[in-house]
Amino acid sequence: MQKYANPTRFMKIADAVLPWLTTATVILFVAGLYLTSVAPPDYEQGHTVKIMFIHVPSAWLAMMCYTIIAASSVGSLIWRHPLADVSAKTAVPIGVAFTFLALVTGSLWGKPMWGTYWVWDARLTSVLVLFFLYLGLMALWQAIEDPSRAGRSAAILAIVGFVNVPIIKFSVDWWSTLHQPASVVKMSGPAIHSSILIPLLVMAAAFTCLFFVLHLRAMQNEILRRRVMAMRLLQVERAANVEAGAPAE
Amino acid sequence: MKEFMSLVRRDLLLSWREGGAIGTALGFYLIVVAILPLGLGPDLNLLSRIAPGVLWVALLLAALLSVDRIFHNDYEDGTLEALALGPLPLEAITAAKCLAHWISTGIPLTLTAPVLGLLLNLDAQAFAVLVLTMLVGTPAVSFIGAIGAALTLGLRRGGLLLSLLVLPLYIPILIFGVSSVSAVISGPSSFTASFLILCALSMASIVLAPLACAAALKLNLQ
């Protein structure tokens, strides 16, 4: 793991992986959207059930993304690794987007099904808290100018906020909520018919690939941005040295 | 332990002699609670129903207002660096400062709450429970708030950022604090369950928050 954490090596690996991953994402999205469109409407919910194919993968990714941020934060705090820093930083905006998508699609789905856009039950509230945590992380990154200090401050906050992820996952089991309990990942096997389960899983795979494409690309950009920054600082320093040295010659 | 206690005593003495801070927090608490009935209309039944929630929310806001003072003054005049060089580990220093903050802010706010409860027509049997839950919940408010205070130390616009960072972490305290009070007044849910979770939140934050605070302070003291 440490061996692959060298930024230069990472750039090479990411360059090699990205075209394949992008192709896979496109194929999975085409297949997933096709399967979604031919999936039978639910006998109770009609066509609104199709909101699920966006909603559920977004919600999974919102949690996975926070988990990745927390894991990277542990890496950046313990090993002080710049790449872990970059990974934690770039995952935040992507996570916000997926959390927002999950909240919006959920509330659009809630209106026809529950009769309301929003209820204050445990699952919805804890996802909203996740959204606020993401916003807090973004704000902290922006408020501190020195990137390495910002990275470690954000890492501490991310690890503290990680308490929320298991709460989201198990909120539907611990409290009786309007939101339905886990139906796909269960000990007794999924409680969803295969005609809907298969498109859902394809969409989930597509979303996951999309996340990794975006994340890898964002990490590459961030590394390049930091290099440009370092080069500029070096240039300024050299220019200052020349100016200071000139009168002495 | 002797150093720990003397640090707590020093912080308490400072906040006592400075005055200001705790007075401001109490005044803020009073104003927020007093302004709500003006906005909602003076219907006593409604006020009595929402009283536990209003008292808790206003308490969190008032505590939030004072939480950035835990480290701020000592950071500005360099005391914090001197303390960090001393015999006490940074975790113990933060724990002592949070404890002092709880005693100097959490307890006075808790004791003000029943008085403000009169303004909101709080149910008679809820007074004792309200004070009890707040007494148990406010340590978590101080300790979790200190994480935010340590992270935003020395930043411009730190106060606004602090509330964005800390309020989401306060939500569990609010939920279980309010639900244990309303359980006594009306609720079908059990008081014990919510109350025990509130105790657990408090104890966990007392143990874990100083670690996070110390890590954040180390960044700022380099």
Cβ-based burial of A104 (10 A; exposed 0-12, middle 13-18, buried ≥19)? middle
Q: Minimal Cα–Cα distance from B37 to chain A, Å?
A: 23
Phi and psi at residue A177, to the nearest 5°:
-125, 165
pLDDT beyond 50 at B74: yes
Phi and psi at residue A117, to the nearest 5°:
-75, -30
d(CA A89, CA A91): 6
Q: Touching check for A215 and chain B: CB below 8 Å?
A: no
Which residues from B are below 8 Å from A161, CB to CB?
A: 168-169
| Maximum CA extent, chain B | 57
pLDDT-above-90 percentage for chain A: 39
Q: Minimal Cα–Cα distance from A104 to chain B, Å?
A: 19
DSSP letters for A16-77: HHHHHHHHHHHHHHHHHHHHHHHSPPBTTTBGGGGGHHHHHHHHHHHHHHHHHHHHHHHHHH
Is B168 close to A132, i.e. CB distance below 8 A?
yes
d(CA B220, CA B150): 8
Q: Minimal Cα–Cα distance from A242 to chain B, Å?
A: 31
Which residues from B are below 8 Å from A156, CB to CB?
A: 147, 151, 212, 215-216
B126-151 helix and B44-67 helix, angle to the nearest 10 degrees: 30
pLDDT beyond 50 at B73: yes
Phi and psi at residue A187, to the nearest 5°:
-60, -40
Across the interface, of A135, A149, A156, the residue whose CB is closest to B215 is A156
Q: Which of A137, A69, A157, A161 is CA-nearest to residue B148?
A: A157
Mean pLDDT, rounded, of chain B: 88
Structure tokens at A108: 């659009």
> Which residue would you say has higher pLDDT here, A28 or B190?
A28
Cβ-based burial of A1 (10 A; exposed 0-12, middle 13-18, buried ≥19)? exposed
Q: Which of A13, A39, A91, A1 is CA-nearest to residue A201?
A: A39
Q: Which of B127, B140, B105 is CA-nearest to residue B52?
A: B127
**Band of pLDDT at residue A190, cut at 50, 70 and 90:** low
pLDDT-above-70 percentage for chain B: 98
pLDDT tens, position by position, A54-65: 999 999 999 999
Which residues from B are below 8 Å from A140, CB to CB?
A: 151-152, 161, 165
Q: How far is CA B52 from CA A191, B9, B175, B181, in A?
A: 40, 32, 11, 7
User: Looking at chain A, which residue has its C-alpha nearest residue B166?
Assistant: A136
pLDDT beyond 80 at A193: no
Mean pLDDT of B46-54: 87
Count, residues in chain A: 249
Residue A5 neighbours by CB under 8 Å, 6+ apart: A81, A83, A84
pLDDT tens, position by position, A106-161: 888 888 888 888 888 888 888 999 999 999 999 988 888 888 888 888 999 999 98
Across the interface, of B151, B155, B175, the residue whose CB is closest to A157 is B151
Residue B140 neighbours by CB under 8 Å, 6+ apart: B173, B198, B201, B202, B205, B206
Output the pLDDT for position B206: 93
ipTM above 0.85, yes or no: no
d(CA A132, CA B69): 24
Which residues from B are below 8 Å from A132, CB to CB?
A: 164, 167-168
d(CA B49, CA A113): 29
> Which residue would you say has higher pLDDT here, A68 or A50?
A68
Which residues of B make CB contacts under 8 Å with A? Answer: 147, 151-152, 155-158, 161, 164-165, 167-169, 171, 175, 212, 215-216, 219
> Which residue would you say has higher pLDDT here, A166 or B158?
A166
**Band of pLDDT at residue A168, cut at 50, 70 and 90:** confident
**Band of pLDDT at residue A247, cut at 50, 70 and 90:** low
User: Looking at chain B, which residue has its C-alpha nearest residue A121?
Assistant: B175
Output the pLDDT for position A3: 62
d(CA B63, CA B102): 9
Taking 3-state DSSP, the helix, strand and coil percentages for chain A, each rounded to the nearest 5, stand at 80, 0, 20
DSSP letter at A41 equals P
Which residues from A are below 8 Å from B171, CB to CB?
A: 125, 129
**Per CATH, domain A17-40+47-173+193-220 is 1.20.120:** yes
Kindly list the domain boundaries of chain A, sorted by start residue. Answer: 17-40+47-173+193-220
Q: Which of B165, B143, B155 is CA-nearest to residue A156?
A: B165
d(CA B33, CA B153): 29
Best of A156, A164, A174 to disrupt the B interface (most B CBs within 10 Å) is A156
**Band of pLDDT at residue A249, cut at 50, 70 and 90:** very low
pLDDT tens, position by position, B99-158: 999 999 999 999 999 999 888 888 888 888 899 999 999 999 999 999 999 998 878 777
Structure tokens at A152: 């470690």
Is A139 close to B216, i.e. CB distance below 8 A?
no
Least confident range from A78-92, A214-228, A233-247: namely A233-247
Task: Identify the bridge partners of residue A46 per DSSP, sorted by sequence position.
Answer: A42
Across the interface, of A144, A149, A160, the residue whose CB is closest to B147 is A160
> Which residue would you say has higher pLDDT here, B222 or B14?
B14
Is A143 close to B161, i.e. CB distance below 8 A?
yes
Across the interface, of A133, A135, A153, the residue whose CB is closest to B151 is A153
DSSP E strand stretches across chain B: none
pLDDT beyond 90 at A199: no
